[in-house]
Amino acid sequence: MKKKVFSIGNLKTEVVFTDSDSCLDFRGDSSIYIFDTNTRPLFTLPPEANIIVLPAGEIHKNWQSIDTVCSSALDAGLSRDSIMIGIGGGVVCDVTGLSASLFMRGTGLVFVPTTLLAMTDAALGGKTGFDYRGYKNILGTFYPAKEIRICPSVLATLPDKEFKSGLAEVIKHALLRDRELLSLLINEKEKIIRRDPIILADVIEKSLGVKGWYVEHDFLEKGIRTHLNFGHTFGHALESVMGFERITHGEAVMWGIKTALKTGIVLGETDKSWEEEVNEIIRLYGYKTDYQNTVNPEEIISAIAFDKKKKKDHVRFVLQHTYADTFTMPLSHDVLKHVLAPVT
């Protein structure tokens, strides 16, 4: 069983790679298991286990779900020494994490992530939260899990669309700082798409290593951790213009990365050969990247400005000179208009 420990703030998160038989084995601990309606059928548990099943989906990343988890924990007699175990994608992880941070001012927290995105991104790093009054992740805490159990074979049932969405974050991690992961993505595409658990374990471990590096260096996101937003400022704007049902987060992030690199070229900051190399990987995995031909650039710019206003922040876009050479800068309206213009 492979293990890796990340130091997050003054706490430690242990990541353990395990098989599906032992990933829910918490005998001896007083605990509550939190699933959603899609992840509950994937695991068996003894009849005496305390189980909560939340409705699946982003719209249920809300106050009601936090209330359900906390009141069930109270009914089950959990204490500060108990553990809340979140078994699901990023939604279940974020809801469980926030509930654990609030319950008795902090009870034990373990994640068993079941989507590629949760395994490589959402479960590690301590950000918890939920969506409130239309603002995504506006209420939340920093509260790292003490343990993350990863079982790559659980990805077998994940819908293709979700798998490909999570893979976008893996590609982003590789571009930020892992050449070996980049080579794996290029050379082992067939096995990755087939979800070979051995290759996936390697891919997940490397991808987590990148996320963990940023989190260990900047837990509270005061500086370098913002590089993890590579492709996200453009991507979020596209998601909000197109509507969350018409595009996955991963598709939007891939388009965002392509757009960020194009911006760097326009500004004379990005290496042309690096842009070509990245575009080749984006093509290899079949991400659609011509969204600027179907959306109005001004709508994207307004969505970016709206995001900026909401956060009372100035937007610094994450760009790259080349592999692992990442920087941030603000962009003028004229530059945005230029890079978002339809391609003929």
Minimum distance of ligand NAD from residue 157's CB (angstroms):
4
Minimum distance of ligand NAD from residue 213's CB (angstroms):
15
Neighbours of 48 (CB within 10 A): 5
CA distance 116 to 220: 24
Minimum distance of ligand NAD from residue 8's CB (angstroms):
11
CA distance 85 to 45: 13
Nearest Cα neighbor of 289 from 233, 338, 250 is 250
The token pair that represents 117 in the structure block: 């995105």
- Strand 325-329 to 147-150 pairing: unpaired
Please check whether residue 203 is in contact with residue 184, taking contact to mean a CB–CB distance below 8 angstroms: yes
| 53 to 84, 85, 150, 328, 337: CA distances (angstroms) | 13, 12, 20, 41, 46
CA distance 298 to 99: 39
CA distance 313 to 3: 38
Neighbours of 44 (CB within 10 A): 9
Residue closer to ligand NAD (CB basis): 161 or 321 = 161
Minimum distance of ligand NAD from residue 277's CB (angstroms):
25
Minimum distance of ligand NAD from residue 35's CB (angstroms):
9
187 exposed, middle or buried (CB, 10 Å; 0-12, 13-18, 19+)? exposed
Minimum distance of ligand NAD from residue 56's CB (angstroms):
4
Which residue has the CB atom at the shortest distance from ligand NAD?
Answer: 90
Binding site for ligand NAD (CB under 6 A): 36, 38-39, 42, 56-58, 61, 88-92, 94, 114-115, 117-118, 121-122, 125, 127, 137, 154-155, 157-158, 162, 165
Q: Which residue has the tokens 């819908």?
A: 159
- Strand 108-113 to 130-132 pairing: unpaired
The strand pairing partners of 5, in sequence order, are 14
Minimum distance of ligand NAD from residue 116's CB (angstroms):
8
Minimum distance of ligand NAD from residue 119's CB (angstroms):
9
Residue closer to ligand NAD (CB basis): 27 or 133 = 133
Residue closer to ligand NAD (CB basis): 16 or 301 = 16
